[in-house]
Amino acid sequence: MSLVPSAFSSSIIAVVFSYNCGNYLLDALKSIDAQHTQPDRVIVVDDFSSDPVTLSILCDLPAHYHVIYKSSHKGVLDSLLAALSYVYSNYDNPIISFLDGDDIWHPSKLACVVDEFVASPTASLVSHGYNIIDASGRMLHNYDDQTLRNHWHISSIPSISVRSETLKSDIANFRGVWLGSAFSIRINHEHFQAFYSMISRSKFLQYSHQDQPLAAFIVAFLPDTTFHLLNSELFSYRQHGCNTSSSSSSVSSALFSIQRSTATLSLCLSLYNLSPYVFLPEDIYSNLLLELSYLRFCYTRRLYLAICCWPFLSFNHWTIKASMFECVRLLICTFSPSTFLAIKSRKLTSYIPFNRHKYASS
């Protein structure tokens, strides 16, 4: 099959994932309507919401919106498949940008992404930087955000081809690349059908994230295409409730995040194992899965099992700094996992100014 779309398509599709988002959904949709470059179609996939505010918003959308109502709650990856099935039944080689229903795109997001695709005929994925806001929309900043550091590192690579391969490698190895509401794709219908056939019956489908498996498929099976990372903050990730991205404030939300991450890792690994182009070190995913088990043991106070995992991870997976941090996690979780999570969440959501130069020099 053709690995590179034969021609640029002017069709720009926005896909929004909705599940009990309430008024956050209205903010997300307003951010689409405020785009300098408007999409040709907005697809909203609702994952069987029960929230009256969400349902009311979905019933009152403009004509260029298309809402897909799912008959049961099957998770965001299933929503992705539903959206892409609709898109590829109606458009050829579109640019598709994704937005979670509680996040916000910045006004120049689509314009910048489309410009990058136009300038790069071989591009199959474009992502970019971000900032973080709280439930009320107030800016937050992670004082030691490794993903931001990694974005700056990739952006500093002068060679376009090396930058693309580094981005692919970092996605494959889960080394801090933000996808979610940041990434956009351009693949053809045949590529989507191949992706669909590989994952649609997976036992991990319901709990997996949607972004990493799709990116993993493109890395694994479209090696002649290129990945691009824009050195601009073009969306705001909203932290609220269980939606906290590595800074869960309760044991229940932390355990749910671990369950989702485990499903995502397992699904991505199954895709890479099918690829004739990608060969990952055997310990990469086994270490990541062991780390998730270790975290689950900490938060459920199965401390003997957590202590058994710690030496192996310390010598084979964590840096010295990370190992020291895990000593603190293990110690506090001995008495109260919820206390540790509350402290960690407060530190990760400090209201401090964004220091671009700090990350440029890291």
**What would the DSSP string read from start to end of 32-101?**
HHT-SS--SEEEEEE-S---HHHHHHHTS--TTEEEEE-SS---HHHHHHHHHHHHHHH-SS-EEEEEET
Return the closest-CA partner of residue 266 out of 196, 313, 216. Answer: 216
pLDDT, tens digit (0-9, with 9 covering 90-100), for 277-328: 998 887 899 999 999 999 999 999 999 999 999 999 999 999 999 999 999 9
pLDDT of residue 344: 82
pLDDT of residue 7: 45
pLDDT, tens digit (0-9, with 9 covering 90-100), for 216-249: 999 999 999 999 999 999 999 998 865 655 567 7
The Cα–Cα gap between 205 and 200 comes to 7
Contact call for residues 340 and 333 (beta carbons, < 8 A): yes
- Which of helix, strand or coil describes residue 237? strand
The Cα–Cα gap between 115 and 355 comes to 27
Residue in the block written with tokens 């194992």: 273
- 41-46 and 123-133 beta bridge pairing: unpaired
pLDDT of residue 353: 42
pLDDT of residue 100: 98
The Cα–Cα gap between 131 and 136 comes to 14
Q: 160 pLDDT exceeds 70? A: yes
pLDDT of residue 351: 43
pLDDT of residue 33: 97
Provide the 8-state DSSP code for 166.
H
Q: 334 pLDDT exceeds 50? A: yes
Q: How many CA atoms lie within 13 A of 177 on its CB side?
A: 30
Two tokens at 230? 């824009």
Residues 315, 317, 320, 325, Cα dihedral to 10°: -110
pLDDT of residue 96: 98
**Mean per-residue pLDDT, 63-82:** 97
- Ordered by start, the domain boundaries in the chain are 12-238, 251-348
The Cα–Cα gap between 216 and 229 comes to 16
Q: Which CATH number fits domain 12-238: 3.40.47.10, 1.10.3720.10, 3.90.550.10, 3.30.2320.20?
A: 3.90.550.10
pLDDT of residue 176: 87
Confidence class of residue 335 from pLDDT cuts 50, 70 and 90?
A: very high
**What would the DSSP string read from start to end of 239-263?**
PBTTB-SS--SSHHHHHHHHHHHHH
Provide the 8-state DSSP code for 181.
T
pLDDT of residue 2: 36
pLDDT of residue 247: 62
pTM, rounded to two decimals:
0.91
**Mean per-residue pLDDT, 73-93:** 97
Query: Which residues are registered as beta bridge partners of 126?
Result: 184, 228
Rounded mean pLDDT of the chain? 90
